[in-house]
Amino acid sequence: MSAMDSLGVQITSRYEAVFSAIPETSFFISQISTPGVKQNVLQLYFDGKLVEVPQNFEYEHDFSMTVINDASGYIYTALTNFLVNDSGGAITNSGYTITVRAIGDDQHRGATIKLNGVRLKSCSGLSFQHSGGDVQTFTMNCSAIDFNVTPGQLG
């Protein structure tokens, strides 16, 4: 929070994120589309009836998030520089995580989503205009090996 205050953006947001490759900076996102998980089943016939038996599950990998830029452009610069300079040295698991805190309210405690093995895949450009009071955002497209969600946990 203090990092965002020092960079000049003071807005209400319900999602705070930290990318482990840039741990000193948390940033805010206005939207995130997390990957899903799917239960695969094996179809068997038992006593003349078709029965679906759980076999395994698989994680979806792609996700995107709309990042709120700060007044000095530090967040955009840090994420795009990381994307350009990441050599992909770790072939399977990048070792990076993105932790997203879905901040709750008076009735709900929110949740923490941790995306593991994160790779930044693309970053949209920035739009500049003379008029208008909208907050500047950009979209990051990423992938993750897996994820976990902790409801009611902020941290």
Q: Is it the case that residue 8 has pLDDT exceeding 50?
A: no
- Residue 87 burial by CB count (10 A; 0-12/13-18/19+): exposed, middle or buried? exposed
Per-residue pLDDT tens digits for 82-98:
988 876 655 667 789 99
pLDDT above 50: residue 9: no
Q: Name which residue leads in pLDDT, 128 or 105.
A: 128
Those residues with Cβ within 8 angstroms of residue 81's Cβ, 6 or more apart along the chain or in another chain: none
Q: What is the pLDDT of residues 10-32, one digit of tens each?
A: 445 578 899 999 988 889 998 88
Separation in Å, CA 100 to CA 5, 12, 133, 152: 19, 16, 26, 13
Report pLDDT digits (tens) over 33-51: 889 888 999 999 999 999 9
**What is the pTM (predicted TM-score) of this model?**
0.75
Distance CA 134, CA 29 (A): 14
> Which comes out higher in pLDDT, residue 5 or 77?
77
How far apart CA 48 and CA 119 sit, in angstroms, is 47
| Residue with the two structure tokens 């967040």 | 75
Q: How many whole angstroms separate alpha carbon 81 and alpha carbon 10?
A: 24
Query: What is the Cα–Cα distance from 65 to 145, expressed in whole angstroms?
Result: 16
Mean pLDDT over the full length of the chain: 82
**Cβ within 8 Å of residue 30, ≥6 positions away:** 13, 15, 66, 68, 135, 137
Mean pLDDT (whole number) for 109-115? 84
pLDDT digit string, tens, across residues 126-155: 887 777 667 889 999 999 999 998 876 554
CA angle 142–146–151, rounded 5-degree value: 105
Asked if residue 111 has pLDDT above 90, the reply is no
Helices (H), 34-137: 74-85
Please state the separation of Cα 57 from the chain's center in Å.
21
